[in-house]
Amino acid sequence: MSDVPLRMRLSSDQAAFLTEVVAGYPEPVRGAAARIARGEVVPGEDARWVGDALADEMMSVRGYTDADGWTDFGLRVDDIIGIVAQWSEDFFD
């Protein structure tokens, strides 16, 4: 039995979506998101940057409106935010 934690991987569509969502963010966020999209474990702080960016986008008008609730965009972000968190090096601590 292995002590290496199993992390859920983003599908290729989810990885592309992650990259698209953070495209307007600073390089450290984009870089961490790119590493996560490739299935690389990142430092905890980097994973939090990406998670914070995703949460901001999910709660933006693209992700949620008072009139309609969660949009398709918001639901897609919700689908990946938990997976992204697992790629933090301290997720299983």
Predicted structure pTM score: 0.89
Residue tagged 């290729």 (tokens): 12
pLDDT band per the 50, 70, 90 thresholds, residue 80:
very high
pLDDT value at position 4? 63
- Output the CA–CA distances (angstroms, integers) from residue 23 to 8, 51, 74, 76, 89, in the order listed: 23, 14, 16, 16, 23
Q: What share of the chain is helix, strand, coil (3-state, %, to 5)?
A: 55, 5, 40
